[in-house]
Amino acid sequence: METADGAVHLRQLPRSSDNRQDAPEYTRHDSSSESPPLHDEELPSYSEARSTGQILGRGHSTLLHRSAWVSVFTIIYVGLVLYAWAMTVILSIRPLKDKTWAYSFETSRSNYYYEADFDQERKIYRSMRTIQTFIQVVTLPWISTVCASAAVIYAQNQKDPMGLRLRQVTTLADRRWMDFSLYPALMYGKWRQYGSTLLATAIFIWVFGLIIFPIQSVFLSSQSVKVRTLTQQSASIYDFSPARSLYSSHNTGKDVLRVRNALNKANGDIYQPNLWSNNSGVQFLTLNDLSSQTYYSQVPSGFNTGLIRQFAPRVNSTATYETIRASDFPVDCSSRPGAFYADYSSSYSPRTHSTSSYSWGVTACMPANMTKSPWQMARNRQDFSEVLYLNMTQEEYRSGNYQYLFQVTVNTTAGFFELPNYMNKGVPGPLLDQDPVELCDQHCLSQLNTFYSGSYYRRDGVTVEGTLKAASLDPFSTDRKGPLLSAALASFGPGSFIDTFIATAAALEADDKVTGDVSSNLRYACVANPPLTNLMGSSPLECVSVGIDIDGNWYPVGSEIARWISLFQKDAKSIPKAFTSAAFLANQEFLSSQRGKWSIAHDLGADMNLPSISPAGTIVVTVLMALYLLPLLALSLYAGLSHRWTERLDSFVMLRFGAFAGDKVFPLLIGRKSDKVDELDEMSGVVRDVATYPGDEVIKIGRLGFGEGSKLREGRRSKHSRQLPMLFHD
């Protein structure tokens, strides 16, 4: 009440008779009977807003209307959500114009190279991220807006006048589906007091809208993906294919010269860029690392083809040896058809002891028909073996004779393997048994190159002089020699170290005939590189001079060859290592010395940020998204297509509800707990047309009110009423 000084005092609510501490005691009354009727021309205080239609003698009134904006914006919202999610799933799997982010040549013509353009996908990904951020911000507010708009229709379309109580209406008006304090009350048996179908629907939509994006973030992540750019052709290499031989008669011997040159320069500690290993990707391997797990390929070790599957030839040769008896050495090797045979021997004596005599001899034999190439002209896996027999002797003054007999076997395996790429995690593939063309899929690019040529230059004037007593030279002209034959010809054949060293040293001594001694400038000069032993032990013989000075005694050139021979006996266990290295160098010269018709292409791609989600995550998020989008869309259509008397169930509507109830029902008293107010459970919350119509009334104008009456209908005008003074103004 208002006191004399103008202050307003609120009265304390009296306690009810049933001992409820916080519940006010209200007096029920019938507002329609105790309040005088409102004159037709009298308007509520808010009528000064926008004017409504006026009918002569009938006062102000307006038609029920639709509010489609909720439906329109919900459709836009759902479209944005679906667009963002669909693009997320699609981009996590493939680009828009292809089946995979990797190369696919199924639809390309003749495997033409083309530059990929993913600008559209990049723009879509950026727009998708922006839309997802916007959606996460507006989801819960928009769900609340749709539910509040649908609550108006729900409150006016009840079949039973008491189908919706005022407390249930206030629960919807308070939007308590977002109030977690309501949930315990609903769980403990107060659903009949607060609950309604619309409240259950709103809670369902709001809960799934609340959890969908946190759950989505659990399954969804970002990944950096390599996407194709423009394929680059790296090189054309040798192809084990049925084709015309690259060799011709005038090219005879050049392959041996190349292998001999490689053996002269070889060192076990030098990095071999073309030496691959089965156990790893890129490694800095040397000839000391050769084993059954390593192999040679013309492609540099660790080369990665990126997004394309490519194959390359590989060769692995491994040597073994055993000491044999003289009876095991092949008989009549020099007379066997196609065999390689070379026999060297010499004797020498120190200058200071002319009566002393020393001698040495070397016999090399490959008894098989070496004029036939062991290589197969096919891309399938191929295996073959070669055998070399060595008989090395030394006869020393007063020390006796020494003879060393060895059998050296080199097993060679060749074929194709898959180069490292992004699909095989950058690991080189195993040796293939079949033609790689048969294994190609849509990620392969054809490697057949129609450009194919090769040229060799002959070595004229090959001389066989000096210590070579007998030789079978037929294998010298063999096309596509095996690695052991090439190494044997380079080490023991015409023009080799053992064949030419004595003549070279003699030429250097020719200017010293008077003194019979070697010039001091030449005595210790490096004249030749002996083969194989520079690849054997920890102290290899990498260079020899024209003689040896031992304790003041000068031993001529023959002694250097004898020292070279003795290393095979002293470090025999290193013979396999030496011949494995020689075979590797021979394979390298064989494959790399010619142009091939097998091309290698690569595309390392460009980095692109893309979404990443598993199939299980896609299913879970899609189901959860449907559980809140479909009800939300249906509720918005329900709200937008129905005729209504007000925009939404909000505080202004509840203010007019209070005006209807009046001060006698809900006086402005102190109150703490609205759940103790019984009137909210006893009064109807259904908005009806409570007007009565005379039979002769042409234009029927309804009156809005609670409880008994008829449902609001489209096309009927409603005017203000004392029962519910809430004339709609548009």
Can you give the pLDDT at residue 706?
63
419, 310 in Cβ contact below 8 A? yes
Given a cut of 80, is residue 243 above it in pLDDT?
no
Pairwise CA distance, residues 555 & 710, whole Å: 134
Can you give the pLDDT at residue 218?
92
Can you give the pLDDT at residue 89?
93
Can you give the pLDDT at residue 670?
61
Measuring CA to CA, which residue among 673, 658, 659 is closest to residue 15? 673
Higher pLDDT, 696 or 478: 478
Can you give the pLDDT at residue 684?
61
Q: Does the predicted model carry a pTM greater than 0.85? A: no
Nearby residues of 280 by Cβ (< 8 Å), 6 or more positions away = none
Pairwise CA distance, residues 392 & 532, whole Å: 14
pLDDT digits (tens, 9 = 90+) for 284-297: 899 988 988 999 99
CA 646 to chain centre: 56
**Average of pLDDT values for 507-517?**
53
Domain boundaries, the chain: 66-224+609-649, 232-602
Can you give the pLDDT at residue 346?
82
- Residue 165 neighbours by CB distance under 10 Å: 21
335, 369 in Cβ contact below 8 A? no
- 4-18, 39-53, 182-196: range with lowest mean pLDDT: 4-18
Can you give the pLDDT at residue 246?
45
**Average of pLDDT values for 513-539?**
68
What are 482's two structure tokens?
Answer: 């095996």
Given a cut of 80, is residue 215 above it in pLDDT?
yes
CA 577 to chain centre: 41
Highest-scoring range by mean pLDDT, 55-59, 254-258, 576-580: 576-580
Given a cut of 50, is residue 24 above it in pLDDT?
no
pLDDT tier for residue 701 given thresholds of 50, 70 and 90: low
Pairwise CA distance, residues 689 & 692, whole Å: 9
Look-up of token digits 């390392």: 604
Can you give the pLDDT at residue 654?
75
Can you give the pLDDT at residue 445?
79
pLDDT tier for residue 61 given thresholds of 50, 70 and 90: low
Can you give the pLDDT at residue 662?
67
Higher pLDDT, 171 or 316: 316
Can you give the pLDDT at residue 672?
58
- 229-243, 249-263, 508-522: range with lowest mean pLDDT: 508-522
Q: What is the mean pLDDT of the chain?
A: 76
pLDDT tier for residue 318 given thresholds of 50, 70 and 90: very high
What percent of the chain has a predicted confidence (pLDDT) above 70? 67
pLDDT tier for residue 367 given thresholds of 50, 70 and 90: very high
Given a cut of 50, is residue 465 above it in pLDDT?
no
What are 368's two structure tokens?
Answer: 């098989």
Nearby residues of 491 by Cβ (< 8 Å), 6 or more positions away = 260, 263, 364, 497, 498, 531, 532, 582
Higher pLDDT, 72 or 457: 72
**Average of pLDDT values for 159-168?**
75
Higher pLDDT, 315 or 515: 315
Pairwise CA distance, residues 341 & 337, whole Å: 11
pLDDT tier for residue 728 given thresholds of 50, 70 and 90: very low
Given a cut of 90, is residue 549 above it in pLDDT?
no
Can you give the pLDDT at residue 675?
63
Higher pLDDT, 643 or 483: 483
**Average of pLDDT values for 348-371?**
77
Pairwise CA distance, residues 396 & 360, whole Å: 9
Can you give the pLDDT at residue 438?
85
Higher pLDDT, 408 or 719: 408
pLDDT digits (tens, 9 = 90+) for 126-148: 999 999 999 999 999 999 899 88
Given a cut of 50, is residue 159 above it in pLDDT?
yes
Given a cut of 90, is residue 250 above it in pLDDT?
no
Taking CA atoms, 285 is separated from 260, 272, 290, 305, in Å, by 22, 6, 8, 21
